[in-house]
Chains A and B, each alone.
Chain A
Amino acid sequence: MTNEKYTDHDVEQLLNSMPKQVDLRAKEDVWNAIKKQSMAPKQKKSKPWLPAVITVAALFVLVLFVQSLLTTLDSTNMESATEMSLNDMSEGSSGATENSGETADSSASMATEESEEEVDAESAKSFGMQFAQDAHLVFAEDPLLQNHTAVPFSLSYQAVAFPVTLLIPNERIQEDFPDGFPTQLELYEAYSTEIDEQALGFDEYLPLQGTVVESERGLEITLPEDHPYDMASATSEVYFNTLQNLFSKNYLQAYLLDEEGQPLEWDQVGPLTDPIELSATGLAYSPIQNAIGEDYLVPYPRTSYDSFEIALNELQAPENSVVEPILPSSIAYVLEETEDTVTFVFDETLTADSMPRRDLVVMIESLIATAASFNKAVIFENWDPAIYPLPEDTRSLVGVNKIVLPSQ
């Protein structure tokens, strides 16, 4: 055999003869190690630096969100048993907007001169500012949408496609597209080259290779012969998920074609004669950090669950270590579900002190985004609404992971 080339049989025989590997530890040692490992706290990634664009955007969002907080809470204070804290929030917000030069006439009229309330207002303002810093979601009520357009987008980090919502100033779109409002495809093509992915803490992935055109049947994507997207299951996954993130809200299907216009031959799959389904519902959103330690809500794994309850189980006990459970076991609740709503009735009042701020916001937003994926609104009972200004109907969610593009 040594003078010949290897055959399949030779290789298979060699593989079959590989020695058994044995764990030499005693069973008790393994069990003790498991108990120790399961109790070890997860390491948090550090945040070495923040890109200037994010800092600027965060400050901008901060100002407007405090105002948003005010508006939302004003509209609900007549209905809620927590009228006092809502008024406090309004008062606090007015101060923030005055400082920034924004108008806040309605909230200013709510202000009183009692020192106790001023303290409460300061506290509420603090909540509002924290919320603005931590918020990932864009709702239809977002005041930024008065002069920005929300555009679904996608960024990529470590072979995970992150859905993001770009808020592009309307005046900028008008300048870039003087002949009329662009399609989602045109917006993607115009702005995908302008996103500094590395500065935002992501891998350089956009723009996608190939050409994309709209047709009557959906999107038609022509990829070059040497495209890298089918090199492995992970590359396929991130590519298809990116297409979903970018186009699912505007297009139902995408057809992948080769340069001859024929169904694309996908490695290990064969010709893609069936279109790629772009719509995705029943997703469970968990937080994943990017390269600079920022939290983003990502449906990971990209699985469509049959019911909200099953998705919630995945959020509580993910079957992977990429994402963390969002609901700590210390937060007990009863879930009530109807066709349109999911209600969380907390056993103990959920307050700003119930858990770390970041975890609290992530939990609330993850539940909202997941429920919205089932077209259900989230209602919380036995909680302090001051910790997060829920819109009246959380199905007004426009997108997750807000990124504000500067004017120019």
Chain B
Amino acid sequence: MNDSVFHRIYDSYHQDLFQFLIYLVQNRQVAEDLTQEVYIRVLRSYDSFQGNSSEKTWLFSIAKNVAIDHFRKQNVRKKRVFDSFDWEAIQLTSPDMRPEQVVQLDEEKSQLLHYLNSCTGDQKMVIVLRYFQQLSIQETATALGWTESKVKTTQHRAIANLKRFMSNVREGEMIYDK
């Protein structure tokens, strides 16, 4: 294990990686384990990093794979492949921890985080990279291995979904108030 590479990557990107993973899995312990897994893969393949993308997007692409592997493993007992569709569409979340345990959030943000889990896995990753990590469209596309247009489309659909969910909640609150 190359500790000098670790120290440099840790100093530059550690909190970004951690934030990406914790918002995806919404479980601190799991995020810690997955962050470590990212480092293991990074250190193992660092020599083969060609520099075709930025180091940061390369790290996020590995973190994305680690997260997908995690959710794939979580679905071990799924009986039908259409459950795996749900994995991508709905279950990209760790059900054992509620959002408010991740961080103290006001109600609105708490709801947003909740409904983020109702987005597809692809949409959730785009939201986390674009808004929480502040990556550009191009950086997000590189990290996810997609085209820029796919990133834009997915982002657009995710925002539309969140807008719909949040508006429904607000509508419900207004009816309740009346």
Contacts and interface: CB of A to CB of B under 8 A. Distances in A.
A30 B36 CA distance: 7
A27 B163 CA distance: 39
Q: How large is the interface on B (under 10, 10 to 19, 20 to 34, 35 or more residues)?
A: 35 or more
A34 B162 CA distance: 36
Given A23-B14, A238-B81, A320-B65, A18 B72 contact: no
B159 A21 contact: no
Q: How large is the interface on A (under 10, 10 to 19, 20 to 34, 35 or more residues)?
A: 35 or more
Interface in A345-369: none
Contacts, number: 163
Interface in B32-87: 32-33, 35-37, 39-41, 43-45, 48, 62, 65-66, 69, 72-73, 75-76, 78-85, 87
B150 A18 contact: no
Interface string B153-178: 11001011011001100110010000
A203 B122 contact: no
B15 A7 contact: no
Nearest to B166: A6
B141 interface: no
Contacts of B167: 5-6
B143 interface: no
A27 B7 contact: yes
Contacts of A158: 72, 75-76, 78, 81, 84
B112 interface: yes
A334 interface: no
Contacts of B80: 203-204
B94 interface: no
A355 to B, nearest CB: 20
A163 to B, nearest CB: 16
Contacts of B14: 23, 27, 30
B6 A34 contact: yes
A392 to B, nearest CB: 34
A37 B37 contact: yes
A231 to B, nearest CB: 5
B12 to A, nearest CB: 12
* Residue of A2, A235, A321 ringed by the most chain B CB atoms within 10 A: A321
Interface of A: 2-3, 5-8, 10-12, 14-23, 25, 27, 30-31, 33-35, 37-38, 156-159, 198, 203-205, 228, 231-235, 238, 268-269, 291, 313, 317, 319-322
